[in-house]
Structure 1
Protein backbone atom coordinates (compact mmCIF):
# COMPACT_ATOMS: atom_id res chain seq x y z
CA UNK A 1 0.00 0.00 0.00
CA UNK A 2 1.49 3.36 -0.97
CA UNK A 3 1.58 6.40 1.33
CA UNK A 4 -1.41 8.05 -0.33
CA UNK A 5 -3.59 4.98 0.03
CA UNK A 6 -2.49 4.47 3.62
CA UNK A 7 -3.32 8.03 4.60
CA UNK A 8 -6.74 7.67 2.99
CA UNK A 9 -7.61 4.49 4.89
CA UNK A 10 -10.84 4.82 6.91
CA UNK A 11 -10.63 5.83 10.56
CA UNK A 12 -13.33 4.08 12.57
CA UNK A 13 -12.43 5.62 15.94
CA UNK A 14 -14.95 7.74 17.79
CA UNK A 15 -13.02 11.04 17.89
CA UNK A 16 -12.62 13.26 20.93
CA UNK A 17 -13.98 16.79 20.50
CA UNK A 18 -15.02 18.81 23.52
CA UNK A 19 -17.81 21.29 22.89
CA UNK A 20 -15.84 23.95 24.75
CA UNK A 21 -12.76 23.60 22.53
CA UNK A 22 -14.52 24.54 19.30
CA UNK A 23 -17.27 26.89 20.52
CA UNK A 24 -16.47 29.85 18.22
CA UNK A 25 -15.93 27.56 15.22
CA UNK A 26 -19.12 25.66 16.00
CA UNK A 27 -21.12 28.89 16.02
CA UNK A 28 -19.60 29.99 12.71
CA UNK A 29 -19.97 26.61 11.00
CA UNK A 30 -23.58 26.47 12.18
CA UNK A 31 -24.27 29.65 10.22
CA UNK A 32 -22.40 28.26 7.19
CA UNK A 33 -24.70 25.22 7.17
CA UNK A 34 -27.78 27.41 7.56
CA UNK A 35 -26.85 29.45 4.48
CA UNK A 36 -26.29 26.35 2.35
CA UNK A 37 -29.41 24.67 3.74
CA UNK A 38 -31.51 27.71 2.90
CA UNK A 39 -30.32 27.51 -0.71
CA UNK A 40 -31.69 23.98 -0.87
CA UNK A 41 -34.91 25.16 0.78
CA UNK A 42 -35.35 27.80 -1.93
CA UNK A 43 -35.68 25.19 -4.70
CA UNK A 44 -36.61 21.78 -3.29
CA UNK A 45 -40.32 20.83 -3.45
CA UNK A 46 -42.05 20.64 -0.08
CA UNK A 47 -41.95 17.21 1.60
CA UNK A 48 -43.81 16.33 4.79
CA UNK A 49 -42.13 17.47 8.01
CA UNK A 50 -39.61 19.57 6.02
CA UNK A 51 -37.67 16.53 4.85
CA UNK A 52 -36.61 18.48 1.75
CA UNK A 53 -34.38 20.90 3.66
CA UNK A 54 -31.70 18.93 5.60
CA UNK A 55 -28.12 18.15 4.61
CA UNK A 56 -26.65 14.65 4.38
CA UNK A 57 -23.44 13.06 5.63
CA UNK A 58 -21.14 12.05 2.76
CA UNK A 59 -17.76 10.37 2.44
CA UNK A 60 -16.16 13.82 2.42
CA UNK A 61 -18.44 16.01 4.54
CA UNK A 62 -22.00 17.32 4.25
CA UNK A 63 -24.06 17.82 1.11
CA UNK A 64 -27.38 19.19 -0.06
CA UNK A 65 -27.79 16.27 -2.44
CA UNK A 66 -29.19 17.07 -5.89
CA UNK A 67 -31.20 20.30 -5.91
CA UNK A 68 -33.61 20.91 -8.85
CA UNK A 69 -33.12 24.08 -10.87
CA UNK A 70 -34.72 25.00 -14.21
CA UNK A 71 -34.77 21.48 -15.66
CA UNK A 72 -31.31 20.78 -14.26
CA UNK A 73 -29.77 19.99 -10.87
CA UNK A 74 -26.95 21.35 -8.78
CA UNK A 75 -25.49 20.47 -5.42
CA UNK A 76 -23.40 22.08 -2.72
CA UNK A 77 -20.95 20.06 -0.64
CA UNK A 78 -18.86 20.91 2.38
CA UNK A 79 -15.67 18.95 1.74
CA UNK A 80 -14.41 18.61 5.30
CA UNK A 81 -11.24 16.77 4.34
CA UNK A 82 -9.92 19.27 1.81
CA UNK A 83 -11.82 22.10 3.56
CA UNK A 84 -13.49 23.64 0.60
CA UNK A 85 -17.05 24.34 -0.50
CA UNK A 86 -17.99 22.94 -3.91
CA UNK A 87 -20.98 24.14 -5.92
CA UNK A 88 -21.58 21.86 -8.92
CA UNK A 89 -24.04 21.74 -11.82
CA UNK A 90 -24.84 18.62 -13.78
CA UNK A 91 -23.37 20.14 -16.95
CA UNK A 92 -19.91 19.74 -15.41
CA UNK A 93 -19.36 23.30 -14.22
CA UNK A 94 -18.05 23.74 -10.68
CA UNK A 95 -17.23 26.69 -8.46
CA UNK A 96 -15.03 26.08 -5.41
CA UNK A 97 -13.68 28.17 -2.57
CA UNK A 98 -11.66 27.38 0.53
CA UNK A 99 -13.24 26.88 3.92
CA UNK A 100 -11.08 28.98 6.21
CA UNK A 101 -11.47 31.62 8.91
CA UNK A 102 -13.88 34.22 7.50
CA UNK A 103 -16.91 36.16 8.75
CA UNK A 104 -20.32 34.67 8.06
CA UNK A 105 -21.00 37.73 5.91
CA UNK A 106 -18.06 36.80 3.66
CA UNK A 107 -19.13 33.16 3.40
CA UNK A 108 -22.64 34.29 2.46
CA UNK A 109 -21.26 36.52 -0.30
CA UNK A 110 -19.00 33.77 -1.63
CA UNK A 111 -21.87 31.27 -1.78
CA UNK A 112 -24.05 33.69 -3.74
CA UNK A 113 -21.14 34.51 -6.07
CA UNK A 114 -20.42 30.81 -6.66
CA UNK A 115 -24.05 30.13 -7.52
CA UNK A 116 -24.19 33.14 -9.83
CA UNK A 117 -21.04 31.93 -11.58
CA UNK A 118 -22.93 28.74 -12.45
CA UNK A 119 -26.05 30.61 -13.55
CA UNK A 120 -28.12 29.89 -10.45
CA UNK A 121 -30.16 32.85 -9.24
CA UNK A 122 -31.36 32.46 -5.66
CA UNK A 123 -33.11 34.49 -2.99
CA UNK A 124 -33.20 33.17 0.57
CA UNK A 125 -34.48 34.35 3.94
CA UNK A 126 -31.05 35.72 4.78
CA UNK A 127 -31.04 35.43 8.55
CA UNK A 128 -30.69 32.35 10.78
CA UNK A 129 -33.44 30.31 12.38
CA UNK A 130 -33.62 28.69 15.82
CA UNK A 131 -30.97 30.99 17.30
CA UNK A 132 -31.24 34.22 19.26
CA UNK A 133 -30.16 36.81 18.32
CA UNK A 134 -30.70 36.16 14.61
CA UNK A 135 -28.13 38.45 13.01
CA UNK A 136 -28.65 38.74 9.22
CA UNK A 137 -25.96 36.80 7.38
CA UNK A 138 -24.78 39.88 5.50
CA UNK A 139 -24.27 41.70 8.82
CA UNK A 140 -22.62 38.89 10.77
CA UNK A 141 -18.99 39.93 11.03
CA UNK A 142 -18.48 38.52 14.54
CA UNK A 143 -18.72 34.77 13.83
CA UNK A 144 -15.52 34.24 11.85
CA UNK A 145 -13.69 31.20 13.28
CA UNK A 146 -12.79 28.08 11.37
CA UNK A 147 -10.70 25.46 13.17
CA UNK A 148 -10.28 22.91 10.38
CA UNK A 149 -9.25 19.90 12.55
CA UNK A 150 -12.20 20.53 14.86
CA UNK A 151 -14.67 20.66 11.96
CA UNK A 152 -13.23 17.42 10.58
CA UNK A 153 -13.54 15.80 14.01
CA UNK A 154 -17.19 16.91 14.21
CA UNK A 155 -17.85 15.39 10.80
CA UNK A 156 -16.26 12.14 11.99
CA UNK A 157 -18.60 12.23 15.00
CA UNK A 158 -21.46 12.58 12.53
CA UNK A 159 -20.18 9.60 10.54
CA UNK A 160 -20.28 7.41 13.63
CA UNK A 161 -23.72 8.69 14.61
CA UNK A 162 -25.04 8.28 11.05
CA UNK A 163 -23.90 4.66 10.90
CA UNK A 164 -25.67 3.67 14.10
CA UNK A 165 -28.79 5.74 13.44
CA UNK A 166 -29.08 4.07 10.03
CA UNK A 167 -29.06 0.63 11.67
CA UNK A 168 -31.73 1.82 14.10
CA UNK A 169 -33.79 3.23 11.22
CA UNK A 170 -33.61 -0.08 9.34
CA UNK A 171 -35.33 -1.93 12.18
CA UNK A 172 -38.61 -0.03 11.80
CA UNK A 173 -41.22 -1.12 9.26
CA UNK A 174 -43.49 1.90 9.56
CA UNK A 175 -43.09 5.50 8.46
CA UNK A 176 -39.60 6.70 9.34
CA UNK A 177 -37.55 9.69 8.21
CA UNK A 178 -34.16 9.53 6.51
CA UNK A 179 -31.13 10.08 8.74
CA UNK A 180 -30.51 13.75 8.00
CA UNK A 181 -28.74 16.83 9.33
CA UNK A 182 -31.11 19.63 10.31
CA UNK A 183 -29.16 22.88 10.05
CA UNK A 184 -31.63 24.79 12.23
CA UNK A 185 -30.45 23.13 15.43
CA UNK A 186 -27.30 21.56 13.94
CA UNK A 187 -28.36 18.00 14.75
CA UNK A 188 -28.38 14.65 12.96
CA UNK A 189 -31.82 13.09 13.39
CA UNK A 190 -34.06 10.12 12.57
CA UNK A 191 -37.77 10.05 13.41
CA UNK A 192 -40.27 7.20 13.72
CA UNK A 193 -44.02 7.82 13.38
CA UNK A 194 -46.96 6.07 15.04
CA UNK A 195 -49.28 6.95 12.15
CA UNK A 196 -51.57 9.11 14.30
CA UNK A 197 -51.96 12.88 14.18
CA UNK A 198 -50.53 14.82 17.11
CA UNK A 199 -51.85 17.84 19.02
CA UNK A 200 -50.87 21.08 17.30
CA UNK A 201 -47.37 22.11 18.31
CA UNK A 202 -47.38 25.38 20.29
CA UNK A 203 -44.37 26.80 18.41
CA UNK A 204 -42.32 29.39 20.24
CA UNK A 205 -38.90 28.32 18.90
CA UNK A 206 -36.62 31.39 18.64
CA UNK A 207 -36.70 33.03 15.20
CA UNK A 208 -38.61 30.16 13.63
CA UNK A 209 -42.15 30.60 12.29
CA UNK A 210 -44.69 28.58 14.28
CA UNK A 211 -45.92 26.99 11.04
CA UNK A 212 -42.56 25.26 10.70
CA UNK A 213 -42.99 23.48 14.02
CA UNK A 214 -46.67 22.76 13.39
CA UNK A 215 -45.78 20.93 10.16
CA UNK A 216 -42.73 19.23 11.66
CA UNK A 217 -44.74 17.84 14.57
CA UNK A 218 -48.07 17.25 12.83
CA UNK A 219 -47.97 13.54 13.70
CA UNK A 220 -47.03 11.53 16.77
CA UNK A 221 -43.32 10.72 16.85
CA UNK A 222 -40.35 9.20 18.56
CA UNK A 223 -37.27 11.13 17.43
CA UNK A 224 -33.60 10.57 18.16
CA UNK A 225 -30.25 11.81 16.98
CA UNK A 226 -26.88 13.36 17.76
CA UNK A 227 -26.20 16.99 18.64
CA UNK A 228 -22.94 18.87 19.45
CA UNK A 229 -24.33 19.94 22.83
CA UNK A 230 -25.88 18.37 25.91
CA UNK A 231 -22.58 16.87 27.06
CA UNK A 232 -18.88 17.64 27.32
CA UNK A 233 -18.43 16.23 23.80
CA UNK A 234 -22.01 16.39 22.52
CA UNK A 235 -24.81 13.90 23.12
CA UNK A 236 -27.21 11.44 21.61
CA UNK A 237 -30.79 12.42 22.38
CA UNK A 238 -34.27 10.93 22.21
CA UNK A 239 -37.71 12.41 22.81
CA UNK A 240 -41.37 11.82 22.06
CA UNK A 241 -44.03 14.21 20.83
CA UNK A 242 -46.40 14.36 22.51
CA UNK A 243 -44.50 13.18 25.57
CA UNK A 244 -46.57 10.43 27.27
CA UNK A 245 -47.09 10.28 31.02
CA UNK A 246 -44.22 8.49 32.76
CA UNK A 247 -41.79 8.97 29.86
CA UNK A 248 -39.12 10.65 32.00
CA UNK A 249 -39.08 7.74 34.46
CA UNK A 250 -38.43 5.03 31.88
CA UNK A 251 -35.35 2.88 32.51
CA UNK A 252 -32.44 3.66 30.19
CA UNK A 253 -28.85 2.35 29.95
CA UNK A 254 -26.30 3.41 32.54
CA UNK A 255 -24.82 6.79 31.64
CA UNK A 256 -28.02 8.07 30.01
CA UNK A 257 -30.50 10.32 31.80
CA UNK A 258 -33.62 12.43 31.28
CA UNK A 259 -33.01 16.17 31.06
CA UNK A 260 -35.93 18.05 32.60
CA UNK A 261 -34.55 21.25 31.10
CA UNK A 262 -34.61 19.92 27.54
CA UNK A 263 -37.49 17.47 27.93
CA UNK A 264 -35.57 14.57 26.40
CA UNK A 265 -33.25 11.70 27.20
CA UNK A 266 -29.53 12.30 26.73
CA UNK A 267 -26.63 9.90 26.33
CA UNK A 268 -23.39 11.92 26.46
CA UNK A 269 -21.05 11.27 23.55
CA UNK A 270 -18.08 10.93 25.90
CA UNK A 271 -19.87 8.02 27.65
CA UNK A 272 -20.36 6.32 24.29
CA UNK A 273 -16.77 6.96 23.21
CA UNK A 274 -15.41 5.37 26.40
CA UNK A 275 -17.65 2.34 26.13
CA UNK A 276 -16.30 -1.10 25.21
CA UNK A 277 -19.09 -1.31 22.62
CA UNK A 278 -20.08 2.20 21.44
CA UNK A 279 -22.45 0.98 18.70
CA UNK A 280 -24.18 -1.41 21.09
CA UNK A 281 -24.63 1.25 23.78
CA UNK A 282 -26.15 3.77 21.38
CA UNK A 283 -28.52 1.17 19.93
CA UNK A 284 -29.54 0.08 23.43
CA UNK A 285 -30.30 3.73 24.28
CA UNK A 286 -32.27 4.26 21.07
CA UNK A 287 -34.30 1.07 21.49
CA UNK A 288 -35.06 1.77 25.16
CA UNK A 289 -36.27 5.32 24.58
CA UNK A 290 -38.32 4.32 21.52
CA UNK A 291 -39.87 1.52 23.59
CA UNK A 292 -40.83 4.15 26.19
CA UNK A 293 -42.58 6.27 23.56
CA UNK A 294 -44.29 3.29 21.94
CA UNK A 295 -45.39 1.57 25.14
CA UNK A 296 -46.46 4.59 27.21
CA UNK A 297 -47.97 6.29 24.16
CA UNK A 298 -49.88 3.10 23.27
CA UNK A 299 -48.83 3.17 19.64
CA UNK A 300 -50.98 1.12 17.25
CA UNK A 301 -49.71 -2.39 16.52
CA UNK A 302 -49.35 -1.56 12.82
CA UNK A 303 -47.02 1.38 13.44
CA UNK A 304 -43.90 -0.71 12.79
CA UNK A 305 -41.77 -3.12 14.76
CA UNK A 306 -38.27 -2.71 16.09
Structure 2
Protein backbone atom coordinates (compact mmCIF):
# COMPACT_ATOMS: atom_id res chain seq x y z
CA UNK A 1 0.00 0.00 0.00
CA UNK A 2 1.47 3.35 -1.08
CA UNK A 3 1.16 6.06 1.53
CA UNK A 4 2.10 9.70 1.77
CA UNK A 5 4.54 10.67 4.50
CA UNK A 6 4.50 13.99 6.28
CA UNK A 7 6.15 15.43 9.41
CA UNK A 8 7.72 12.99 11.96
CA UNK A 9 7.39 10.12 9.48
CA UNK A 10 3.64 9.82 10.05
CA UNK A 11 1.12 9.20 7.28
CA UNK A 12 -0.77 12.19 5.97
CA UNK A 13 -4.31 12.52 7.21
CA UNK A 14 -6.07 10.19 4.77
CA UNK A 15 -8.90 11.14 2.42
CA UNK A 16 -11.97 8.94 2.77
CA UNK A 17 -15.26 10.20 1.36
CA UNK A 18 -18.24 8.98 3.39
CA UNK A 19 -20.15 8.24 0.19
CA UNK A 20 -17.38 5.89 -0.95
CA UNK A 21 -17.58 3.60 2.06
CA UNK A 22 -21.06 3.99 3.56
CA UNK A 23 -21.93 0.30 3.16
CA UNK A 24 -18.67 -0.78 4.78
CA UNK A 25 -19.07 1.83 7.52
CA UNK A 26 -22.55 0.63 8.37
CA UNK A 27 -21.46 -3.02 8.45
CA UNK A 28 -18.44 -2.21 10.59
CA UNK A 29 -20.69 -0.18 12.89
CA UNK A 30 -22.77 -3.28 13.60
CA UNK A 31 -19.64 -5.39 14.12
CA UNK A 32 -18.27 -2.90 16.67
CA UNK A 33 -21.62 -2.96 18.47
CA UNK A 34 -21.42 -6.75 18.80
CA UNK A 35 -17.87 -6.63 20.17
CA UNK A 36 -18.71 -3.69 22.42
CA UNK A 37 -21.70 -5.53 23.84
CA UNK A 38 -19.41 -8.43 24.74
CA UNK A 39 -17.40 -6.02 26.87
CA UNK A 40 -20.64 -4.62 28.30
CA UNK A 41 -21.73 -8.14 29.31
CA UNK A 42 -18.65 -8.73 31.47
CA UNK A 43 -17.17 -5.43 32.66
CA UNK A 44 -18.49 -3.68 35.81
CA UNK A 45 -20.24 -0.35 35.35
CA UNK A 46 -18.06 2.75 35.26
CA UNK A 47 -19.50 6.25 35.31
CA UNK A 48 -20.95 7.40 31.98
CA UNK A 49 -20.61 3.86 30.51
CA UNK A 50 -16.84 4.14 30.14
CA UNK A 51 -16.55 0.36 30.60
CA UNK A 52 -18.20 -0.41 27.25
CA UNK A 53 -16.00 1.55 24.86
CA UNK A 54 -13.32 0.56 22.36
CA UNK A 55 -9.87 2.14 22.08
CA UNK A 56 -7.62 2.97 19.16
CA UNK A 57 -4.69 0.54 19.08
CA UNK A 58 -1.51 0.34 16.95
CA UNK A 59 -3.38 -2.01 14.62
CA UNK A 60 -7.04 -1.07 14.92
CA UNK A 61 -9.60 -1.01 17.73
CA UNK A 62 -9.41 -2.97 20.97
CA UNK A 63 -11.64 -3.69 23.93
CA UNK A 64 -8.57 -3.71 26.19
CA UNK A 65 -8.62 -6.28 29.03
CA UNK A 66 -12.06 -7.62 29.95
CA UNK A 67 -12.43 -9.50 33.27
CA UNK A 68 -13.90 -13.00 33.23
CA UNK A 69 -14.00 -15.27 36.30
CA UNK A 70 -10.45 -15.34 37.72
CA UNK A 71 -8.91 -14.41 34.37
CA UNK A 72 -9.42 -12.03 31.50
CA UNK A 73 -9.69 -11.77 27.73
CA UNK A 74 -9.58 -9.14 25.01
CA UNK A 75 -10.79 -8.59 21.47
CA UNK A 76 -9.12 -6.48 18.78
CA UNK A 77 -10.08 -5.44 15.29
CA UNK A 78 -6.81 -5.59 13.33
CA UNK A 79 -7.22 -3.34 10.28
CA UNK A 80 -3.77 -4.17 8.93
CA UNK A 81 -4.23 -7.94 8.70
CA UNK A 82 -8.04 -7.58 8.67
CA UNK A 83 -8.70 -9.99 11.47
CA UNK A 84 -10.69 -9.91 14.69
CA UNK A 85 -8.43 -11.45 17.35
CA UNK A 86 -9.65 -12.94 20.63
CA UNK A 87 -7.17 -13.85 23.39
CA UNK A 88 -7.54 -15.15 26.92
CA UNK A 89 -5.28 -15.09 29.95
CA UNK A 90 -5.36 -18.90 29.83
CA UNK A 91 -3.47 -18.88 26.54
CA UNK A 92 -6.46 -19.43 24.28
CA UNK A 93 -6.74 -17.58 20.99
CA UNK A 94 -9.14 -17.41 18.08
CA UNK A 95 -9.33 -15.23 14.99
CA UNK A 96 -12.09 -14.27 12.60
CA UNK A 97 -11.14 -12.95 9.19
CA UNK A 98 -12.61 -9.55 8.39
CA UNK A 99 -14.21 -9.85 4.98
CA UNK A 100 -17.58 -9.20 3.42
CA UNK A 101 -20.15 -11.21 5.38
CA UNK A 102 -23.60 -10.55 6.83
CA UNK A 103 -23.80 -9.19 10.35
CA UNK A 104 -25.71 -12.37 11.23
CA UNK A 105 -22.68 -14.50 10.28
CA UNK A 106 -20.23 -12.25 12.15
CA UNK A 107 -22.47 -12.36 15.23
CA UNK A 108 -22.58 -16.17 15.14
CA UNK A 109 -18.81 -16.49 14.63
CA UNK A 110 -18.00 -14.16 17.54
CA UNK A 111 -20.26 -16.00 19.99
CA UNK A 112 -18.97 -19.37 18.79
CA UNK A 113 -15.35 -18.26 19.23
CA UNK A 114 -16.11 -17.09 22.76
CA UNK A 115 -17.73 -20.45 23.55
CA UNK A 116 -14.65 -22.26 22.24
CA UNK A 117 -12.49 -20.11 24.53
CA UNK A 118 -14.66 -21.02 27.54
CA UNK A 119 -16.00 -17.48 27.75
CA UNK A 120 -19.69 -18.11 27.02
CA UNK A 121 -21.41 -14.79 26.51
CA UNK A 122 -24.96 -13.56 26.04
CA UNK A 123 -25.39 -10.08 24.62
CA UNK A 124 -28.38 -7.88 23.87
CA UNK A 125 -29.47 -9.10 20.45
CA UNK A 126 -30.02 -5.79 18.65
CA UNK A 127 -28.05 -2.59 18.06
CA UNK A 128 -28.58 0.75 19.82
CA UNK A 129 -28.78 4.34 18.59
CA UNK A 130 -29.72 3.30 15.05
CA UNK A 131 -32.99 3.07 13.15
CA UNK A 132 -34.06 0.48 12.21
CA UNK A 133 -32.44 -1.79 14.83
CA UNK A 134 -32.27 -5.07 12.95
CA UNK A 135 -31.52 -7.96 15.35
CA UNK A 136 -27.94 -9.10 14.79
CA UNK A 137 -28.96 -12.71 14.15
CA UNK A 138 -31.36 -11.54 11.42
CA UNK A 139 -29.21 -8.86 9.80
CA UNK A 140 -28.33 -9.90 6.27
CA UNK A 141 -28.71 -6.33 5.00
CA UNK A 142 -25.29 -5.15 6.22
CA UNK A 143 -22.63 -7.37 4.66
CA UNK A 144 -20.01 -5.22 2.91
CA UNK A 145 -16.40 -4.95 4.03
CA UNK A 146 -13.87 -3.00 1.96
CA UNK A 147 -10.51 -3.61 3.68
CA UNK A 148 -8.88 -0.50 2.21
CA UNK A 149 -11.71 1.73 3.46
CA UNK A 150 -11.55 0.13 6.91
CA UNK A 151 -7.80 0.74 6.95
CA UNK A 152 -8.23 4.41 6.00
CA UNK A 153 -10.91 4.87 8.68
CA UNK A 154 -8.54 3.47 11.28
CA UNK A 155 -5.84 5.90 10.07
CA UNK A 156 -8.35 8.73 10.55
CA UNK A 157 -8.99 7.49 14.07
CA UNK A 158 -5.26 7.18 14.74
CA UNK A 159 -4.70 10.86 13.92
CA UNK A 160 -7.81 11.96 15.80
CA UNK A 161 -6.82 9.85 18.81
CA UNK A 162 -3.39 11.53 18.95
CA UNK A 163 -4.86 15.03 18.71
CA UNK A 164 -7.57 14.35 21.27
CA UNK A 165 -5.03 12.79 23.61
CA UNK A 166 -2.84 15.87 23.46
CA UNK A 167 -5.88 18.08 24.09
CA UNK A 168 -6.85 15.88 27.05
CA UNK A 169 -3.45 16.48 28.68
CA UNK A 170 -4.31 20.11 29.48
CA UNK A 171 -7.08 19.09 31.88
CA UNK A 172 -6.53 17.84 35.44
CA UNK A 173 -10.17 17.59 36.43
CA UNK A 174 -12.36 14.59 35.73
CA UNK A 175 -11.88 13.69 32.07
CA UNK A 176 -12.71 10.57 30.08
CA UNK A 177 -10.21 8.48 28.16
CA UNK A 178 -10.15 9.00 24.41
CA UNK A 179 -12.47 6.18 23.44
CA UNK A 180 -14.87 5.01 20.74
CA UNK A 181 -18.53 4.73 21.65
CA UNK A 182 -20.00 2.10 19.38
CA UNK A 183 -23.55 3.43 19.73
CA UNK A 184 -22.88 6.23 17.25
CA UNK A 185 -19.39 4.95 16.32
CA UNK A 186 -17.70 8.20 17.34
CA UNK A 187 -14.31 8.76 18.96
CA UNK A 188 -14.81 11.00 21.98
CA UNK A 189 -13.12 12.76 24.88
CA UNK A 190 -15.19 14.44 27.59
CA UNK A 191 -14.26 16.95 30.28
CA UNK A 192 -16.39 17.55 33.38
CA UNK A 193 -16.84 20.72 35.43
CA UNK A 194 -17.39 18.84 38.70
CA UNK A 195 -21.03 19.88 38.96
CA UNK A 196 -24.21 17.90 38.43
CA UNK A 197 -26.49 18.41 35.44
CA UNK A 198 -30.22 18.35 34.80
CA UNK A 199 -31.76 15.01 33.93
CA UNK A 200 -31.14 14.22 30.27
CA UNK A 201 -34.37 13.81 28.28
CA UNK A 202 -33.08 10.80 26.34
CA UNK A 203 -34.57 10.19 22.94
CA UNK A 204 -31.78 8.27 21.19
CA UNK A 205 -33.27 5.67 18.84
CA UNK A 206 -33.54 2.15 20.23
CA UNK A 207 -31.74 3.16 23.41
CA UNK A 208 -33.31 3.48 26.85
CA UNK A 209 -33.53 7.01 28.24
CA UNK A 210 -31.78 5.72 31.37
CA UNK A 211 -28.65 5.14 29.25
CA UNK A 212 -28.46 8.82 28.39
CA UNK A 213 -29.31 9.79 31.97
CA UNK A 214 -26.15 8.00 33.12
CA UNK A 215 -24.04 9.33 30.27
CA UNK A 216 -25.01 12.94 30.92
CA UNK A 217 -25.37 12.87 34.70
CA UNK A 218 -22.64 15.51 35.18
CA UNK A 219 -22.03 18.88 33.49
CA UNK A 220 -19.64 18.33 30.58
CA UNK A 221 -17.85 19.55 27.50
CA UNK A 222 -17.33 16.84 24.90
CA UNK A 223 -15.50 16.64 21.59
CA UNK A 224 -14.65 13.98 19.08
CA UNK A 225 -14.72 12.62 15.55
CA UNK A 226 -17.64 11.01 13.75
CA UNK A 227 -17.50 9.34 10.30
CA UNK A 228 -20.57 11.27 9.15
CA UNK A 229 -21.81 14.85 9.18
CA UNK A 230 -19.76 15.91 6.15
CA UNK A 231 -18.19 14.72 2.92
CA UNK A 232 -15.37 13.04 4.85
CA UNK A 233 -16.76 12.98 8.37
CA UNK A 234 -16.62 15.72 10.98
CA UNK A 235 -15.10 16.74 14.27
CA UNK A 236 -17.67 17.91 16.82
CA UNK A 237 -17.89 19.70 20.15
CA UNK A 238 -20.86 20.31 22.43
CA UNK A 239 -21.73 21.15 26.03
CA UNK A 240 -24.36 19.64 28.31
CA UNK A 241 -26.23 21.47 29.58
CA UNK A 242 -25.52 24.02 26.87
CA UNK A 243 -24.84 27.39 28.55
CA UNK A 244 -26.36 30.63 27.28
CA UNK A 245 -24.33 32.12 24.46
CA UNK A 246 -22.42 28.91 23.69
CA UNK A 247 -23.63 28.67 20.10
CA UNK A 248 -22.60 32.28 19.38
CA UNK A 249 -19.09 31.95 20.80
CA UNK A 250 -16.17 32.63 18.45
CA UNK A 251 -14.28 29.45 17.57
CA UNK A 252 -11.53 28.49 15.14
CA UNK A 253 -10.83 27.66 12.36
CA UNK A 254 -13.04 29.64 10.00
CA UNK A 255 -14.57 26.42 8.62
CA UNK A 256 -16.07 25.52 12.02
CA UNK A 257 -19.74 26.33 12.56
CA UNK A 258 -22.55 25.71 15.02
CA UNK A 259 -25.16 23.28 13.72
CA UNK A 260 -28.62 24.04 15.10
CA UNK A 261 -29.80 20.66 13.79
CA UNK A 262 -27.14 18.76 15.74
CA UNK A 263 -26.84 21.12 18.71
CA UNK A 264 -23.06 21.25 18.46
CA UNK A 265 -20.10 22.82 16.71
CA UNK A 266 -18.89 20.92 13.64
CA UNK A 267 -15.61 21.07 11.75
CA UNK A 268 -15.47 19.14 8.47
CA UNK A 269 -12.73 16.54 8.50
CA UNK A 270 -11.55 17.74 5.09
CA UNK A 271 -10.86 21.21 6.53
CA UNK A 272 -8.38 19.60 8.90
CA UNK A 273 -6.92 17.19 6.32
CA UNK A 274 -6.19 19.94 3.79
CA UNK A 275 -4.86 22.50 6.29
CA UNK A 276 -1.20 23.48 6.19
CA UNK A 277 -0.89 22.20 9.77
CA UNK A 278 -3.74 19.73 10.46
CA UNK A 279 -2.85 19.13 14.11
CA UNK A 280 -2.68 22.85 14.89
CA UNK A 281 -5.96 23.46 13.07
CA UNK A 282 -7.77 20.75 15.00
CA UNK A 283 -6.18 21.87 18.27
CA UNK A 284 -7.62 25.34 17.73
CA UNK A 285 -11.10 23.87 17.29
CA UNK A 286 -10.83 21.69 20.40
CA UNK A 287 -9.51 24.44 22.65
CA UNK A 288 -11.82 27.24 21.49
CA UNK A 289 -14.98 25.13 21.70
CA UNK A 290 -14.02 23.96 25.19
CA UNK A 291 -13.36 27.56 26.21
CA UNK A 292 -16.81 28.47 24.92
CA UNK A 293 -18.33 25.87 27.26
CA UNK A 294 -16.09 26.67 30.23
CA UNK A 295 -16.34 30.46 30.03
CA UNK A 296 -20.05 30.58 29.26
CA UNK A 297 -20.72 27.90 31.87
CA UNK A 298 -18.64 29.50 34.61
CA UNK A 299 -16.28 26.55 35.14
CA UNK A 300 -13.53 26.83 37.77
CA UNK A 301 -10.80 26.80 35.14
CA UNK A 302 -7.98 27.60 37.58
CA UNK A 303 -8.44 24.28 39.39
CA UNK A 304 -9.33 22.23 36.31
CA UNK A 305 -6.61 23.18 33.81
CA UNK A 306 -2.84 22.77 33.85
CA UNK A 307 0.15 23.00 31.51
CA UNK A 308 1.14 19.48 30.41
CA UNK A 309 4.73 20.69 29.96
CA UNK A 310 5.02 21.77 33.60
CA UNK A 311 7.67 19.13 34.41
CA UNK A 312 9.46 19.05 31.06
CA UNK A 313 12.51 20.83 32.46
CA UNK A 314 13.10 17.93 34.88
CA UNK A 315 13.02 15.12 32.34
2:201 corresponds to which residue? 202
Distance 1:303 1:236 in 2: 27
Segments of structure 1 that go 5 or more residues without pairing to the other structure are: 1-8
1:305 corresponds to which residue? 305
- Confirm or deny: 8 A CA contact 1:222 1:240 kept in the other structure: yes
2:64 corresponds to which residue? 65
Q: Which residues of 2 match residues 221-240 of structure 1 at below 5 A? A: 221-240=220-239
What's the secondary structure of 2:161's corresponding residue? Answer: helix
**Deviation digits for residues 77-135 of structure 1, max 9, x if unmatched?**
00100001111101221011210000000000000011011011111111000001101
What's the secondary structure of 1:20's corresponding residue? Answer: helix
- Aligned-pair distance for 1:12? 2.2
Give aligned pairs, total: 298
Distance 1:113 1:86 in 2: 13
**Deviation digits for residues 32-82 of structure 1, max 9, x if unmatched?**
000000000000011000000000000000000000001100001001000
- Aligned-pair distance for 1:252? 1.3
Runs of 4+ aligned structure 1 residues displaced above 6 Å come to: none
Distance 1:122 1:47 in 2: 20
Distance 2:49 2:264 in 1: 21
- Confirm or deny: 8 A CA contact 1:194 1:303 kept in the other structure: no
Distance 1:10 1:147 in 2: 26
Q: Which residues of 2 match residues 7-156 of structure 1 at below 5 A? A: 11-156=10-155
Residue 272 (structure 2) pairs with residue 272 (structure 1) = yes
- Confirm or deny: 8 A CA contact 1:84 1:99 kept in the other structure: yes
RMSD, matched Cα: 1.1
Please identify, of 293-302 and 26-35, the stretch whose mean Cα deviation from structure 2 is larger.
293-302
1:3 corresponds to which residue? none
Could you tell me the TM-score, scaled by structure 2's length? 0.93
1:255 corresponds to which residue? 255
